[in-house]
């Protein structure tokens, strides 16, 4: 149960004062020995704990996912393999998986999507990282508009979508190669731009380092940069910005 739900049940008389007290006395994390589940993260930050799946042992990932599902009724996992999805889906039949974004998730209900985030890519090879950002933001309740393949090698494509991009509370710019898309967008919109360098490109791209350096050194204002291929981080921050935009309207 969440804090508001406990208080509402207490107010309606469906739980006792003692039961509510036990809820608030719970440890702020659950000890699993090999992991400590941060059960109060949503209370503190507004976002529940998310599971980074890559590299986790099967038995660890399965127990973590089941515990979070038991506590929250929903879970988001990033960088998941098809094997990991198939393993957990046997225990949680409603689990869904995207082979493009590598996200697996189960949600309580279809959430209302609020505000507007524009997730843009330079090319189609950047879409997996962009989808990680977009699906993360959607999971946390943001409305996302996907605007893909508008890189600088054909600026007319970007300009044809400019009205949609400028209408967003936040813009996510996902680009590999030289990473110039973020600078172009930064000069065209009044909202924050979150730049996501990707490891897409030939040798001198250096697995995303060239795009990262371009974005960090951008002369355009209002650009912040996340780590290489970090779509999740971009989707999370974009949601925080989007929530501010919604609350101020």
8 Å CB contact between 215 and 244:
no
**Six-digit token string for 63:** 């127990």
151-162 per-position pLDDT tens digit = 988 889 999 999
Residue 26 has a pLDDT of 65
Per the rule left: phi > 0, alpha: psi between -120 and 50, beta: everything else, 169 is alpha
Total-model pTM: 0.83
What's the whole-number average pLDDT of the chain?
Answer: 89
Residue 194 has a pLDDT of 97
Angle between helices 127-139 and 231-247 (to 10 degrees): 40
Closest listed residue to residue 76, CA positions, set 99, 100, 47:
47
**Six-digit token string for 134:** 């977009």
pLDDT exceeds 70 at position 31? no
Cα separation values, 58 from 70, 173, 204, Å:
18, 34, 36
* Domains with residue ranges and CATH for the chain: 3-106 (no CATH), 114-247 (3.40.50.1970)
Q: Residue 21 — very low, low, confident or very high, per pLDDT cuts 50/70/90?
A: confident
Cβ contacts of 215 within 8 Å, gap of 6 or more: 175, 179, 182, 183, 195, 197, 223, 225
pLDDT exceeds 80 at position 123? yes
Separation CA 62–CA 92 (nearest Å)? 10
52-78 per-position pLDDT tens digit = 999 999 999 998 899 888 888 889 999
């Amino acid at each position: 149960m969440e804090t508001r739900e406990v208080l509402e049940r207490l107010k309606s008389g469906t739980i006792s004062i003692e039961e509510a007290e036990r809820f608030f006395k719970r440890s702020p994390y659950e000890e699993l020995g090999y992991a400590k589940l941060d059960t109060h993260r949503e209370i503190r930050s507004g976002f529940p704990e998310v599971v980074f799946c890559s590299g986790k042992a099967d038995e660890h990932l399965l127990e973590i996912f089941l515990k979070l599902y038991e506590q929250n009724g929903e879970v988001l996992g990033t960088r998941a393999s098809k094997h990991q999805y198939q393993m957990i889906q046997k225990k949680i039949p409603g689990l869904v998986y995207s082979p493009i974004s590598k996200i697996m998730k189960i949600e309580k209900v279809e959430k209302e999507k609020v505000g507007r985030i524009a997730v843009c890519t330079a090319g189609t090879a950047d879409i997996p990282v962009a989808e990680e950002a977009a699906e993360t933001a959607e999971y946390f309740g943001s409305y996302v508009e996907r605007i893909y393949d508008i890189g600088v090698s054909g600026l007319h494509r970007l300009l044809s979508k400019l009205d949609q991009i400028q209408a967003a509370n936040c813009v996510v710019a996902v680009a590999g190669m030289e990473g110039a898309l973020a600078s172009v967008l930064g000069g065209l919109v009044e909202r924050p731009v979150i730049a996501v360098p990707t490891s897409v490109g030939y040798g001198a791209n250096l697995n995303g380092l060239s795009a990262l350096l371009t974005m960090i050194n951008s002369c355009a204002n209002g650009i912040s940069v996340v780590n290489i291929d970090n779509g999740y981080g971009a989707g999370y921050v974009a949601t925080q910005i989007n929530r501010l935009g919604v609350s101020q309207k």
